[in-house]
Amino acid sequence: MAAAEEEEAAAAPPDGGAESESAEISAEGVMEGEEREAAAEYSWPQLHFDRPPHRLYHFARQFRSVAPATGSGSGENFLKGVKWSPDGSSFLTSSDDNSLRLFYLPEDAYGGAEHVAEAAVGGEDSYGAFLQVNEGEPVYDFCWYPCMSLSDPATCVFASTSRDHPIHLWDATGGELRCTYRAYDAMDEIAAALSISFNSTGSKLFAGYNKAIRVFDVHRPGRDFEQYSLLKGGEGPTGIISSISFSPHNGMLAVGSYSQTTAVYAESNMEPLYVLHGQLGGVTQVLFSKDGNYLYTGGRKDPYILCWDIRNTVDIVYKLYRSADTTNQRIYFDIEPCGRHLATGGQDGMVHVYDLQGGQWVTGFQAAADTVNGFSFHPYLPFAVTSSGHRRFGMQDEFEDELNMGGDENCCSVWMFSSSQES
């Protein structure tokens, strides 16, 4: 208890403390939300998937674990996911060494990136991480503040949750801990969230636990929260809440659980609306379409992403295949900003792209030599970022053999697609 209080005090930023800082973030979120509405007229680039993407940047060496005894790379570390920042200036990776690394997009990527040479695989990394945040235990989930803008440092934050720790809010410009959001169990011990997500306006932070959701006010760090049991009427998820997604338009949120179910709620009062069944394994990701009318769900040891029409949830609309039928890993998928295509990784090292109008396969490309567990479209440029890796079991010399394959495993890459500007 005392240690937790010390952690919150240490996390409090100068000039007003954690509460005033977070309140400023919340206020800025409203302003940024208005700017987003004004940007709705932006003409998204039309991506051309008939040509293979160009690998702009590649990162592998800095993700290799350093063994404390020898100081040499052991190869046991691997990436677990990657996400672009909302303003597109940077991307954040999570890896098995309990670390989050932030990479900025170089200036040459914003103008004339087509002239950047193909990134070498197997050599030195394209560049190093701008900052690295180390959690004490394995990272369960991480997310960006939705109104983040590099032009306003107060909004440059991301949240993470890890085993036996409270939710941390990190400064993306310097790596300092801004504040913590803490939940306690019946024994008055820290209860770690298994999944986290800000709502669309950035005013609330939703956290998933076993059969429950806890909601924190962003401007009130500490142990104040609202708790909602998800077992109302016996219809809700009965397991760990593994993923949370907010609809961009209709005030709904979806939660996926390891009980193989997905439930949809009204954000305002957590009133249950639908419960969806059909995933073969525990749900690891839920994602609303850009118009908010469709919901996509994926699970562990399940080769299909399911598409649901939330206006008529009687049947699955279609299924999208990916190689994921023998892994418990979370394999992220993403929808491009204009909402036309979905892309997902898989155990085969491929990225598969689907047309969401009818669920047809469009193309695929080899992104890595091992499991592609992360894929994220850039919010406004024709770029995407992938992460790959999985846990390897065997003798140390077998790890070394893996590392000598060419550097196309346990890696992160930024890709550029051919595109044209829509009128």
Whether the per-residue pLDDT at 316 is higher than 60: the answer is yes
Please report which confidence band the pLDDT of residue 203 belongs to, taking 50, 70 and 90 as the band edges: very high
> CA-CA distance, 355 to 176, in Å (whole number)?
41
Whether the per-residue pLDDT at 204 is higher than 80: the answer is yes
Local structure of residue 302 (DSSP, 8 states)? -
Average pLDDT of the chain is 86
> CA-CA distance, 173 to 373, in Å (whole number)?
26
Higher model confidence: residue 25 or residue 153? 153
How wide is the angle at C-alpha 69 spanned by C-alphas 68 and 72, nearest 5°?
Answer: 75
Mean pLDDT within 308-332: 96
pLDDT at residue 122, rounded to an integer: 86
Mean pLDDT within 242-265: 96
Mean pLDDT within 351-372: 97
How wide is the angle at C-alpha 167 spanned by C-alphas 327 and 179, nearest 5°?
Answer: 150
386-423 per-position pLDDT tens digit: 999 988 765 444 444 444 545 689 999 999 999 987 54
Of 414, 389, 387, 385, the residue nearest 403 (C-alpha): 389
Q: How far is CA 296 from the centre of its chain?
A: 15
pLDDT at residue 118, rounded to an integer: 86
Give residues with Cβ within 8 angstroms of 314, minimum separation 6.
none
What are the extents of the domains in the chain?
54-63+78-229+322-392+403-416
Whether the per-residue pLDDT at 347 is higher than 90: the answer is yes
Which residues on neighbouring strands pair with residue 416, listed in sequence order?
A: 54, 383
Could you give the residue ranges of the DSSP H alpha helices within 45-100? none
pLDDT at residue 413, rounded to an integer: 97
pLDDT at residue 406, rounded to an integer: 55
Local structure of residue 19 (DSSP, 8 states)? H
pLDDT at residue 255, rounded to an integer: 97
Q: Please say whether the beta carbons of 217 and 179 come within 8 A.
A: no
Q: Please say whether the beta carbons of 200 and 209 come within 8 A.
A: no
Whether the per-residue pLDDT at 297 is higher than 90: the answer is yes
CATH code at 54-63+78-229+322-392+403-416: 2.130.10.10
Higher model confidence: residue 249 or residue 296? 296
Give φ, ψ of 378 to 5 degrees: -70, 145
40-57 per-position pLDDT tens digit: 456 788 999 999 999 999
pLDDT at residue 48, rounded to an integer: 93
Give residues with Cβ within 8 angstroms of 189, minimum separation 6.
none
Local structure of residue 62 (DSSP, 8 states)? G
Half-sphere exposure for 172 (CA within 13 Å, toward CB): 29
Which residues on neighbouring strands pair with residue 210, listed in sequence order?
A: 240
pLDDT at residue 394, rounded to an integer: 57
Least confident of 83-92, 133-142, 226-235, 394-403: 394-403
Please report which confidence band the pLDDT of residue 16 belongs to, taking 50, 70 and 90 as the band edges: very low
> CA-CA distance, 367 to 379, in Å (whole number)?
20
Among residues of the chain, what percentage have pLDDT more than 70? 82
Region class of 270: left (phi > 0), else alpha (psi between -120 and 50), else beta? left
pLDDT at residue 24, rounded to an integer: 46
pLDDT at residue 201, rounded to an integer: 96
Side chain identity, residue 366? Q
Whether the per-residue pLDDT at 311 is higher than 60: the answer is yes
182-198 per-position pLDDT tens digit: 999 888 899 999 999 99
Dihedral sign for Cα atoms in the order 244, 287, 34, 86? positive
- How do beta strands 333-335 and 341-344 pair? antiparallel
> CA-CA distance, 178 to 169, in Å (whole number)?
5
